[in-house]
Structure 1
Amino acid sequence: MVHNLAIDVIVPREKPRRWQRVLIERLIAEGHDVAVLHDKTAKPWPAAVHILLSLERTLLRKPGKALSVRLNTIAQMPRQRLPALRLDLTGDAVSVDVPTLTLRFDGAVLDLAVAVCVAMGRLPALEAVLDGKTIVGRAFPMIDRRETTVFGLEDVLARAVTLLVSMVRAFAERRLVSLGTPVPAHAAVGFTRAYVLRSLPRLGREAWRRLRFRHAHWRIGYRCRDGEGVAETGQLGTGWQILPDDGNCFYADPFPFHWQGRAYLFVEDYVHAIGKAAISVVPFDDTGKSQAPRVVLEEPHHLSYPQVFARDGAVWMLPEASAGGRLVLYRAVDFPDRWTAEAVLLEGEISDATLLEHGGKLWLFATHRDGHGSTSDTLVVFSAPVLTGPWKPHALNPILIDRRRARPGGAFIRDGSGRLFLPVQDGTLGYGGGLGLAELLALDDTTVRFSEPRTIRTDGDWPYQRIHTLNRSGPLEVIDGIAVVRKRPGSSRAS
C-alpha cells in the first residue's frame, strides 16, 4: 500500500548527523512529500566526540560515510502543503498542533546518548514517541562488534532509521498503538569519560585476543536419539559428538536431511584463509558415523545456512547468500553433489531465510539488513503461492527489531500437538550468544505474532556454551557452538 504523507522533518541547523539525512532520503524514496526545517536551538555534538570517533574510524579503516559523521548542514526544503506529521530529530523542537514523532535513545531525547551508551558497553533501546507521551514503537538493535564504539554506533543509528520509516508507514495506515511504559533513562555520563575508561580498554582487550585466537570458530554437534530432543526438553542434554575439523576451517549452520533411507548433513564450510564459506555435505553411514565433508555448492560470495528440503518431486536448497545481494533457490540435479540455481526469490541482504508452509501458503522468515547496520535484528516475512514465487512482503514488515529474537536459528519445529516453534538467535551476549524457541501464535496476511522465546539451556556434555543453530531430521539432531581456537603461526588475517 502506497501512502503520500506531507511530513515536516526537523533537523539541527548546525552539524547534523548523516543518519538524519539518510532518513530523509528514505522517506522521499517511499513517496512522501518531505519538507526539511532547521531547529536553530539544537546543540551539535561536542567536538571531542567527533574527534574521538574520527580517530577510531581511521584506526579501523571505517569509510567516511558512517551514519554518525557530522555534516555541515542538511539543506532546508520548502513545504509544498500542510503537514500531516512531523518528525522531530532534535528532541526539543517547539510544539505545534501537528502529530509529532520523536525518538528516545536509551531513555534520552538526544542521539548523543547512543554514543555514550555504546562507549559504556551497554545495549541501547530505541523508542518512537508520539506527541511526547505515547510510546508507539520500540527497537532493540543488535551490535555486532562490541569492542568498538564506531561500529556499535553505526548499528544503532541504522535501526533508528528503520524504526522511524516503519513508524511513518504505520501512522499512514492508522496502525500506531500505545506500547505502555517507557524504558528508564540511565544516569548521564560524559562521552569522553565513557570512551577513555570503558571503550578504549575494551578495544585493546579485543585486539589482543584477536592476535592469539580465531575471531570465530564454530563447531557442530550431532547425536542420534529417539523420542524427545532439545526442542521438547529445552536443554541440550548429553550424547553429543563433535564434527571434527583441522583448525584451518570450521563447520557451522547444520541442516540434516534424510534421502532414500540415508542421513546427510549440510553445513557452512568456512575457510579462514579466504574469509568465506561454501556449502558442504557430510554423509552418515548405516551405523550413524559421519563421513568426510565435501563441498557441493560454491559461489564467488559467502554461503551459509543451507536449508535443504524436498518438495514438488525435487530436492531444494535455500542457502543464506546476503553477501551476494540475492536470495537464490537451488535445485539438486544429482543429489547431494550437484545443484543448479533455479530462481532468485528476493533481492537485498536477506539472512537465514527459513521456509514454512502454513494456511495454504508458503512463508519465508528472515532478517534484512535494511541498507546499514547489523544483519541480525530486523525480522521480515514474505509469502508466495508457490516455491519459485513471486514472493510478497508482509504488510507489517519489519515485523520487529530485536537482537533477542529476530534472526532464525533453524527450521520450524512442529510439536506433537501441532504447535509451531521457530529457533531464534539471541544476540544479547553477542552474535551466536544463545538460542531460544519462539512459538508462532498467529500468521496471516495482516498478522505475525510470536511468543517470547524460551531460552535453551546449555547444560549437559556439549562443551561450548554459545550456540546459534538447532535442527533435527528423524533421529539426527544437530547444533553448533563457538569454540576458542588459538591461531597457528602464520595464520591468515581473514580469520
Structure 2
Amino acid sequence: MKICLYANPAHARQWLQTFADRLTRDLSADVVILWSDDKPLPDHILQHLQTEKRRLHHGQRLESDPIDVDDLSVDSFDVSTEHSARVRLAFDLVLDLVGDGYEPVGNDVIKIVYDGNPGDRALIAAILQYGLPQIALVKTDGTVVATAHPSAELAVGLSGAMEQCFIRLCTLIRAYIANPHRTTHALITRQAEMPTARQMRVRLLKSRMRGALKSIYYKLFRAGHWRIGWRWLDEEGVVERQSLAGERWQVIRDPETHFYADPVPWIEDGRSYLFFEDLDEKTQKGVISVVAFGDDGHPGAAKVCLEEEYHLSYPFMISHEGETYMIPETSANRDVALYKAANFPFGWHRHATLLEGLEAADVTLTRHEQRWWIFCVTREGEGGYSDCLSLFYADDLLGPWQPHAQNPVLIDVSAARPAGNMLRDGDRLFRPVQDCARSYGAGLKLFEVTCLTPQAFEQKEVFSLAPDAHWPGRKLHTLNRAGNLEVIDGAILRPRMSFLRALCERWFAPQGSEPDALVRSLPNPDWHL
C-alpha cells in the first residue's frame, strides 16, 4: 500500500515520523511525504509553544514538537518537483493535512479537518477558542468517513492539546484504513480566530496564575476525592426518572486518606453487597473492597477483598452457570482477567485471562443475540484514557474473544467510557456512559445501543445527568443497581484540615426525601445480563 502525507513543511512535527513508522511496521506501507508551499505559523504562536516546552514540559519530547524536514527518515519531496509529479498518480491513499486545493492525486484522497477546517492553524485556533476539536476525515466529494473527539485529560497547555489531537488522528486514520465503513458523527463546522500576540500573553499569564492557585489548592485539599452514594428504592430509580431526585442518597463513610469509587452492587444468597474501588491516596494504588448490608438495610464496615501488585478498580460482577465472577480493571497489568471467589465475598483468585496485551479500562460485559460482548475503553500510545470505545465478542465467556471490525468503534470523549452495568428493556439494550468532555468523570449519559454486530456499532443518547442538589459535587461517573439497591459515585472537595472537612461534608450533603421504610433488596431483571 502506497500512502502519501501531504503536509506543510513549516508544520512538520514529530508525529509525522511516528505515524509513518507505524504504517510501515504494521501495514508494510510505503509512506511518502509531499510538501506544500511553506506557510509558517505566526511568530507569537511559535514563541508560545517554545515557552511551554521549557516551562510546562521541561524539555520532554512531544508528538507536537517541530522537526526539521531533513531529519525525517521518510522519503519526502516538494509537491512541485518532477519526481513527485511522476509518483503522485500511484498513491493508494492521500492524506491531505493542508487543504490548499493542491493535494496530490490518489485512489482515495482524504482531507483532515478540525471543526471543519484544515491545517495546523485551524487546529491551534480551535484549541485556543473551544478546546480540543472534532477531527474528521473528509473525501473530496465532502463525504465524512470518520470522526473523533479526543480526550484532553492528559493535555498540558496548547502543545499538549496538539499532541493529543495528533495521537488520536493517528488512531482514527489507522482505524479507517483497517475498515473504511465506519460509523460517523455529523461534521462540526465552526470558525475560530487565531489569538493576537497580546491575547496569548494574557493567556500565558492566566495559566501561571492557575498554576499558582493549584499549588495553594493542593496544600489545602486532597486531590480528586471520590465518594459513593447508595439508597433503597421502592420502584423507579435514576433511569426511570431520568433524574437523581427521589429517595435521599446515603454516603458510604471512607477513611480520611482513602477514596471510594466505581460502586457495583450484588445480591448473593439473598444478601446485598457492594464492591468498589478503594484507593489509598498516599500510594495511589487501588484495591477492591466490599461492604455487606445487614438486615436493617445499613452497610457494614468496608473490608479489602482483592489486592494485586498493580492498581485495581471497576469490579464488574457477573453470574455464569451458577458461579459468581468478578472482572476488575487490570489495565496496569495490560490484560482483562476473570476472578472467582473461593469464599464469597472474599478469597478471589484469577480464574482466566480473557484479553491480554492491551490497556482496557472499565470492562463491562453483556449478552446480546447469543454472543458475549465486552465494552471497554482502550488506550493507544500516549493518548487519553477515556475516548476510545473498543468492543470484543465471543460465543463463550472464556473465549476465544475476537475484536470488533471497527475497533475502536468510537473515538468520543463524551460517549465512550462505560459508567456501569448494561441495562435491558425487552429487546432494547442501554449503556451508562461517562461524559468526560469537560473533565474526567464530569457527568453521566445513558445511551441506547441501536446496532451491535461484529461489523457495526451504533448508539443514540437518551439523557444526560450532572451533579445537582440531590447528589452534590464536582463529578458523577458511575450508576448501578441490583434489586432495590441503587448506587452512584462522585467527587467532592476533601480538605486536609478536620474542621474544614466537616464543613464540606455538610455543604455537599445530598438532599431528597426519606423513604417510608427500608426496602429489602429484590432481584430486578432489567439490571441483569
Compute the TM-score of the two structures, normalised by the length of structure 2: 0.84
Determine whether 1:486 maps to 2:495: yes
Deviation, structure 1 residue 65: 2.9
Change (3 A) 1:451 1:311: same
Residues 367-393 of structure 1 show CA distances to partners (whole Å, capped at 9, x for unaligned) of 111122111011111001212222111
Distance 2:477 2:462 in 1: 14
Residue of 375, 380, 399 corresponding to 2:385:
375
Determine whether 1:184 maps to 2:190: yes
Change (3 A) 1:188 1:472: same
Distance 2:219 2:257 in 1: 16
Determine whether 1:235 maps to 2:231: no
Distance 1:49 1:16 in 2: 15
Distance 1:262 1:250 in 2: 25
Deviation, structure 1 residue 316: 1.0
Deviation, structure 1 residue 182: 4.6
Change (3 A) 1:126 1:145: same
For the residue of structure 2 that corresponds to 1:214, the secondary structure is strand
Residue 88 of structure 2 contacts residue 104 of structure 2 at CA under 8 Å; is this kept in 1?
no
Q: Which runs of 5+ in 1 are unaligned?
A: 490-495
Distance 2:126 2:437 in 1: 15
Residue 183 of structure 2 contacts residue 458 of structure 2 at CA under 8 Å; is this kept in 1?
no
Distance 2:132 2:7 in 1: 25
Distance 1:261 1:359 in 2: 29
Distance 1:44 1:447 in 2: 41
After the TM superposition, which residues 85-484 of structure 1 pair with which residues of structure 2 at under 5 Å, given as runs? Answer: 85-92=93-100, 94-98=102-106, 99-120=108-129, 122-131=131-140, 133-145=142-154, 148-171=157-180, 175=181, 181-190=187-196, 193-194=199-200, 196-197=202-203, 199-237=207-245, 238-346=247-355, 347-415=357-425, 417-456=426-465, 458-459=467-468, 461-464=470-473, 466-484=475-493
Deviation, structure 1 residue 42: 3.5
Residue 129 of structure 1 contacts residue 135 of structure 1 at CA under 8 Å; is this kept in 2?
yes
Deviation, structure 1 residue 476: 0.8
Residue of 15, 34, 40 corresponding to 1:38:
34
Distance 1:30 1:334 in 2: 45
Residues 153-195 of structure 1 show CA distances to partners (whole Å, capped at 9, x for unaligned) of 3322221111222222334xxx268866552222232477346
For the residue of structure 2 that corresponds to 1:114, the secondary structure is helix
Residue 49 of structure 2 contacts residue 158 of structure 2 at CA under 8 Å; is this kept in 1?
yes
Distance 2:36 2:384 in 1: 33
Q: Please identify which structure carries the higher helix content.
A: 2
Deviation, structure 1 residue 468: 0.4
Which residue matches 2:23? Answer: 27
Residue 354 of structure 1 contacts residue 365 of structure 1 at CA under 8 Å; is this kept in 2?
yes
Q: Which runs of 5+ in 2 are unaligned?
A: 77-86, 499-529
Residue 102 of structure 1 contacts residue 132 of structure 1 at CA under 8 Å; is this kept in 2?
no
For the residue of structure 2 that corresponds to 1:235, the secondary structure is coil
Distance 1:323 1:25 in 2: 26
Deviation, structure 1 residue 465: 5.2
Deviation, structure 1 residue 123: 3.5
Residue 255 of structure 1 contacts residue 265 of structure 1 at CA under 8 Å; is this kept in 2?
yes
* Amino acid in structure 1 at the alignment position of 2:192: H
Distance 2:236 2:104 in 1: 60
Deviation, structure 1 residue 397: 1.4
Residue 426 of structure 1 contacts residue 434 of structure 1 at CA under 8 Å; is this kept in 2?
yes
Change (3 A) 1:189 1:235: same
Residue 104 of structure 1 contacts residue 110 of structure 1 at CA under 8 Å; is this kept in 2?
yes
Deviation, structure 1 residue 134: 2.9
- RMSD of the TM alignment (CA)? 2.6
Deviation, structure 1 residue 320: 1.3
Distance 1:54 1:449 in 2: 42
Change (3 A) 1:123 1:13: closer
For the residue of structure 2 that corresponds to 1:167, the secondary structure is helix
For the residue of structure 1 that corresponds to 2:416, the secondary structure is coil
Change (3 A) 1:469 1:51: same
Aligned-pair identity in percent equals 34
Deviation, structure 1 residue 332: 1.4
Change (3 A) 1:177 1:478: closer
Deviation, structure 1 residue 446: 2.0
For the pair shown, which has the larger CA radius of gyration, 1 or 2? 2
Residues 457-483 of structure 1 show CA distances to partners (whole Å, capped at 9, x for unaligned) of 645532225210000011111000111
For the residue of structure 2 that corresponds to 1:439, the secondary structure is strand
